[in-house]
């Protein structure tokens, strides 16, 4: 039976935390660490998670790109202004904000330089964020959620 979206999200966040401490040699090392942390994980699920997180295999092991970690700060600074986000088809994400905050949130998306974002439009309390694929949309939603947790 497939894992729930919440379990998958929690597993990916644990992987992100593990990789933020330094490179991890093998996918099996991640499976073992996740199992120890109480997550259900297989090599194939870890492989998919690494791909979704944008992790790269380097000579030192699996790592998250440094630029991604640095750019989270722009979004983290405005997550308190966000009220919710909802996909609208496979290429559009609707982000609801506090009244009058959409322009500030849209500017943070621009400054983040996240590759998943093709462009965005900010109104008064809504930001439309365009992505080039459904996969990019899902990854973007995960990044926004992570930035919100990191801001807390």
What are the pLDDT digits (tens) for 18-47? 988 888 999 999 999 999 999 999 999 999
Percent of the chain surpassing pLDDT 90: 55
148 has which bridge partners?
none
Percent of the chain surpassing pLDDT 70: 91
- Chain centroid to Cα 45, Å, comes to 17
pLDDT computed for residue 104 by the predictor: 93
Q: Is the pLDDT of residue 152 over 90?
A: no
Q: Are 50 and 93 in contact (CB under 8 A)?
A: no
Q: Which residue has the higher pLDDT, 1 or 53?
A: 53
Query: What are the strands, taking DSSP E only, across the chain?
Result: 56-58, 61-63, 82-87, 92-97, 117-122, 126-131
Total-model pTM: 0.56
Q: Is the pLDDT of residue 58 over 90?
A: no
Report all structural domains of the chain as residue ranges with CATH numbers, in order of start: 5-64 (1.10.10.10), 74-151 (3.30.1360.40)
pLDDT tens, position by position, 60-116: 888 887 645 555 678 888 989 999 999 999 999 999 999 999 999 999 999 888 889
């Amino acid at each position: 039976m497939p894992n729930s979206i919440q379990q998958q999200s929690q597993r990916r966040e644990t992987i992100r935390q593990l990789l933020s401490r330094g490179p991890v040699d093998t996918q099996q090392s991640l499976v073992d660490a996740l199992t120890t942390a109480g997550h259900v994980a297989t090599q194939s699920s870890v492989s998919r998670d690494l791909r979704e997180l944008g992790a790269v295999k380097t000579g030192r092991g699996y790592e998250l790109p440094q630029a991604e970690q640095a750019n989270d700060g722009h979004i983290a600074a405005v997550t308190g202004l966000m009220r919710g986000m909802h996909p609208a088809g496979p290429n559009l994400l609707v982000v609801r904000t506090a009244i009058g905050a959409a322009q500030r949130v849209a500017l943070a998306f621009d400054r983040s330089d996240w590759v998943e974002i093709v462009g965005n439009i900010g109104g008064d309390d809504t930001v439309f964020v365009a992505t080039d694929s459904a996969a990019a949309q899902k990854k973007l939603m995960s990044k926004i959620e992570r930035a919100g947790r990191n801001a807390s």
